[in-house]
Chains A and B, each alone.
Chain A
Amino acid sequence: MTTAKINFGRRSFIKSSALAGGGLMIGFNWFASLNAQAAEVVKLPNEWFEITGYLKIGENGAITIMSPNPEIGQNIKTSMPMIVAEELDVDWKNVLVEQAPLNTAIFNRQLAGGSDSIKQSWPGLRLAGATGRKMLKEAAAKKWNVPVAEITTELGILYHQKSGKKAGYGEMASAAAQIPVPKEVELKDLKDFKIIGTSRKNVDGQKIVTGQPLFGLDYKKEGMLIAMIVHPPAFGMKLKSFDATDAKAKPGIKDVFRIKIYNDDYKPQWCDTTSFTELVAIVGNSTWEVMSARDYLKVEWEPFADHKIAMAGWGGDQLVSVPAGLESTADHHAKMTAAAAQPGKIERRDGNPEEAFKNAAKVIERTYTAPFLAHTPMEPMNFFADVTADNAKLVGPIQSPESMEKTLSARLGLPLEKIDIQMTRMGGGFGRRLYGHFMVEVALISQKMKAPVKLIYSREDEITFGIYRPAYHAFYRAALDAKNNLTAFHVRMGGIPENALHANRFPAGAIDNYLAESWAIESNISVGAMRAPGSNFNAVAEQSFLDEVAEAIGKDPIQFRLDLLKRAKENPVGKRNDYDAARYAGVLELVREKSGWDKNSAGKNRGVAAYFCHSSYVANVVDLTVEKNTPIIQKVYAAVDCGIVVNPDAAINMTEGGIVDGIGQAMYGQLTLSKGQPDQDNFDSYRLIRHAEAPKEIEVHFVQNEINPTGLGEPPYPPVMGALANALYKATGTRYYHQPFVKNKFE
């Protein structure tokens, strides 16, 4: 048992009520309805006692655990409460889970991003559970008049062995709620875990398969209006004027007006987007009426001039240049090619790479590119707001509620405590919902209408709004000596408007002479974080390149990587290497073993890749065949090291999803532009992977260790793209340098 200090603060001061199971902290009936299903499984108590801000216990032993972070499909609403339940020492079948609202007084980092939810919350969630257990023990000790150290717990029951006394948590809940939050608690030993490491079903599973309201788009309130927006049709344009006469005459339409997303003196923060800051809003009674009437709006747009935006950054204000003009993909390609021909900004330099290249017996040079991508989460952007003169209530899908509350506060002129944000389950996000401009938009619309409003984006609105994954370009060089030793490695990476370089990741640290350079081209196309930012290109380019280098050297591609990692482990070059070479090698060894790489590869079109990002390590082997000029992904093996696996089956699901997504993006994903206008705007033109194109089989293995857990939302996504490119080469004899691969070859 370890002793841990409590640092997560006090109990919340929210009143309990007998109705609790759902809606207790929330008050909307819509939310109360959400727990109906669960109540049939867990019997609701007559009274809930709030033990800490994280948990309530009913007199009958039912437990409610708050899930603090936004659920985006990463299973956090199940796996986070599992951690609390473990340390609380209760039976999982008595647990109800409730999505917590944004509450910075109780919860830390209520953010879905960076694959960090579990990693960052692990200690806090364990403490939250252990604190509850300690308070229950103290309550029992007091009641039975015995030393607290003599009290033990098991599955929601308190025992005092000497006296033979025992009591359920429910019986002690009311007394425990009066116990002061302890200063120190004991945490379980890992070997005593009963819930963590066992597969538990998605807590919302039954609601999902029966179509119960769960998502932002499903949210309703009496008297609610529906709104849509119109944004400029092209990057480089802004709103000039509009004529709403015809649209306003359509049935059900209440109003049409201009909204301005930021005040003039506002400095946008990281989660604010600055591409389309003035929009036309149309408001009416029902979705179809608003959608139909919107077509009758006559809007005039005009080009904007070069300008600079002062962004509030972590390291102080930053001036971002936004060039004028209507950009096209063809121009982007020309600009990237030109930029890549020039030396970039040196980000890391080890040894003497120039000398090594000069003396090389052989130099391998390759260029890789990838297009802009749109996030396209399945649930289109939407949000609900009810803004009055002195407060604002917002409900919907958002990855970054805490930051967006600040943006809203600045725009609405309301203090933070007057803004209430409730998070619904999200129909995906992939980073798109880190940028909550739609919350500001709906708040402004509600304020103007003096009514509750739900804003809905069409798929076209969302795909053409921007916040794309940047377009990337990478130029690699490797120097080999006469004995085929890799003597130098050079990467020059760029992008529009930012690059993907992680200069201190593998193979940095494994090669004596190493040079990493970066460049970027200004653009008015807005970009944002998309699942494994940077890594989602880096992994493909670098892992394809390493495959080619291994081939040129005449080494097995896994052994080649392992040899480099051995060097990085035993005698690393430089000090700033971001990865743990032993864990990196571990996933490669595991995937080699599980895929039968050494024995079983004959006659197969196999590719391998491994990558480290967001603190986790993943290696893949892809097996494919090409039939009628179409690649069929027969099997993907994954070896994953994310430390302790909290909910194994859900972790496998997440890994499978990352693999399918990676294959889809690499094969089909692209957003191109003509004169500032996206060429794709819905799923007929923006290609996503479909059933028949998904791998026939995926096999996931985890490295078993006792390292604190790290995230899985992002790490399984990048490496499979490299393994795919390498397997395609095996099958076709052609290397795949440019994404999407279908365009490259299979069309």
Chain B
Amino acid sequence: MAIFNLKINKKEYKVDVDPSTPMLWVLRDHLNLVGTKFGCGIAQCGACTIHLNGEAVRSCITFISEVGVKEITTIEGLSENGDHPLQMAWIEHDVPQCGYCQSGQIMTAAALLKKNPHPSDTDIEEAMNGNICRCGTYTRIKKAIKTASHS
């Protein structure tokens, strides 16, 4: 076990866990931030996507010991009032079916829009290809990203 100081969603946290613990479980089990989801544990589905200094990463394979002073953003901290353009576009297009994959989808999309504010269809497909939606909401996700990119 070891003590780690983390900056998540602009707040400071202190946790005492094994250094090999993935951020996914630090967030979910130790910090009560359960918006970041477990889907595969091997960086294949994107359900666990968070931002590390603004970059989308898979928290299931990001060990707490690698985080250092980098700032973490989770779905809970993407916007203060749940009104990030992507969150609003997701509601406008009523994207979710079961909803389980959607926080990961939104986090990947947010990182995309930061780098590329007006992505083409192909840009979207490429950036989002690592995020599985088992319910098949892909066409709506694409529409919502485009709506957000125009706002």
Q: Is A602 part of the contact surface with B, judged by Cβ < 8 Å?
A: no
Q: Please measure, in the bound complex, the distance between the C-alpha atom of A286 and the C-alpha atom of B21, giving whole angstroms.
A: 10
In the complex, whether A563 has a CB less than 8 A from a CB of chain B is no
> In the complex, which residues 183-236 of chain A have their Cβ closer than 8 Å to any Cβ of chain B?
199, 201-202, 204-206, 208-215, 217-218, 220, 226
A562 within 8 A of B: no
Q: Which residue of A lies closest to B90 (CB)?
A: A209
In the complex, A691 has a CB within 8 A of chain B: yes
A649 touches B94 (CB 8 A): yes
User: Which B98-149 residues have a C-beta within 8 angstroms of A?
Assistant: 98-103, 106, 121, 124-126, 128-142
Expressed in whole angstroms, the minimum distance between the Cβ of A165 and any Cβ of chain B is 39
Residue of B nearest to A73 (CB): B98
Q: Chain B, 56-97, contact with A by CB distance < 8 Å: what is the 0/1 string?
A: 000000000000000000111010001000110011001111
Given contacts A287-B28, A288-B18, A425-B98, contact A378 B76 (CB under 8 A): no
Do residues A380 and B39 form an inter-chain contact, with CB atoms below 8 A? yes
Residues in B neighbouring A426, C-beta threshold 8 A: 98
Give Cα distance in the complex from A215 to B38, angstroms. Answer: 11
Is B8 an interface position by the 8 A CB rule?
Answer: no
> B126 touching A682 by the CB < 8 A rule?
no
- A650 closest partner in B (C-beta): B94
Q: How many contacts A-B (CB < 8 Å)?
A: 191
Structural contact, B96 and A376, CB atoms closer than 8 A: no
Q: Which residues of B contact A37 (CB under 8 A)?
A: 82
Q: CB of A75 within 8 A of chain B?
A: yes
Kindly provide the distance from the CB of A8 to the nearest chain B CB, expressed in whole angstroms: 28
Minimum distance in angstroms from A662 CB to a CB of chain B:
9
> From residue A358, how far is it (CB to closest CB) to chain B in Å?
46
**Of A379, A427, A656, A684, which contacts B136 at CB under 8 A?**
A656
Whether A206 pairs with B91 at a CB distance below 8 angstroms is yes
Beta-carbon contacts under 8 Å, A270-327 to B = 286-289, 292
A199 neighbours in B (Cβ, 8 Å) = 94
- The size class of the interface chain B forms with chain A is 35 or more
The answer to whether B20 has its CB under 8 Å from any CB of chain A is yes
CB pair A376–B139 under 8 Å, yes or no, is no
Q: A378-B39, A378-B45, A459-B39 are in contact. Are A201 and B132 (CB under 8 A)?
A: no
- A491 part of interface (Cβ distance < 8 Å): no
Q: Give which listed residue, B17, B37, B129, contacts A691 with CB less than 8 A.
A: B129
Chain B residues near A659 (CB-CB < 8 A): 136
Contact between A211 and B25 (Cβ–Cβ < 8 Å)? no
- Candidates A220, A251, A379, A683; contact of B32 at CB < 8 Å: A220
A409 contacts the other chain (CB 8 A)? no
Q: Select the stretch in A119-127, A520-528, A694-702 that faces chain B.
A: A694-702
CB pair B87 A210 closer than 8 Å: yes
Q: How far is the CB of A180 from chain B (nearest CB, A)?
A: 40
Residues in B whose Cβ lies below 8 Å from that of A287: 25, 28-29
* Distance between A659 CB and nearest chain B CB, rounded to angstroms: 7
Complex CA–CA separation, A199 to B94 (angstroms): 10
Chain B residues whose C-beta falls within 8 Å of the C-beta of A671 in the assembled complex: none
Q: A292-B20, A653-B94 are in contact. Are A692 and B100 (CB under 8 A)?
A: no
| B41 contacts A by Cβ under 8 Å | yes
Contacts of A214 in B (CB 8 A): 99
A72: Cβ under 8 A from any B Cβ = yes
Known contacts A287-B29, A378-B47, A683-B40; is A211 also within 8 Å of B97 by CB?
Answer: no
> Are B42 and A682 in contact, with the CB atoms below 8 A?
yes
Interface centre among B42, B87, B96, B137 (most CB of A within 10 A): B96
In the complex, A659 Cα to B1 Cα: how many Å?
Answer: 48
Q: In the complex, which residues of chain A have a beta carbon less than 8 angstroms from the beta carbon of B6?
A: none
Residue of A208, A379, A682, A684 with highest tally of chain B CB at under 10 A: A208
Partner of B135, one of A206, A428, A650: A428
B52 within 8 A of A: no
B132 proximity list for chain A (CB < 8 A): 378, 683, 688, 690
Contact of A697 among B47, B103, B124, B139 (CB under 8 A): B139
Is the Cβ of A684 less than 8 Å from the Cβ of B74? Answer: no
Contact B136–A692 (Cβ < 8 Å): no
Q: Which of A687-746 contact B (CB under 8 A)?
A: 688-692, 694-698
Task: Give the most central of B28, B82, B98: most A CB within 10 Å.
Answer: B98
Residues of B within 8 A of A75 (CB): 97
What CA separation (Å) do A674 and B118 show in the bound complex? 47
Least distance between B82 CB and chain A CB atoms (Å): 4
A377 touches B98 (CB 8 A): yes
User: Does A208 contact B99, Cβ atoms closer than 8 Å?
Assistant: yes
A682's contact among B37, B40, B103, B131, by CB below 8 Å, is which? B40
Does B14 belong to the interface (CB within 8 Å)?
no
Contact of B139 among A73, A682, A692, A695 (CB under 8 A): A695
A405 within 8 Å of B (CB atoms): no
Chain B residues, CB < 8 A from A688: 132, 134
Task: Please list 7 pairs of residues, one from A and one from B, whose beta carbons are closer than 8 Å in the complex, sorted by A's number.
Answer: A209-B96, A377-B98, A378-B100, A380-B39, A427-B98, A664-B136, A682-B44
Which chain B residues have a beta carbon within 8 Å of chain A's beta carbons? 1, 17-18, 20-22, 25, 28-30, 32-42, 44-45, 47, 74-76, 78, 82, 86-87, 90-91, 94-103, 106, 121, 124-126, 128-142
Closest 10 CB pairs of A and B: A211-B35, A660-B136, A427-B100, A73-B98, A211-B75, A694-B138, A683-B44, A208-B99, A73-B97, A657-B136
Further 14 A-B residue pairs, CB within 8 A, beyond A377-B100, A653-B137, A657-B97: A199-B94, A208-B103, A209-B90, A212-B35, A215-B100, A217-B34, A288-B18, A289-B18, A292-B18, A427-B100, A428-B135, A683-B39, A691-B141, A692-B129
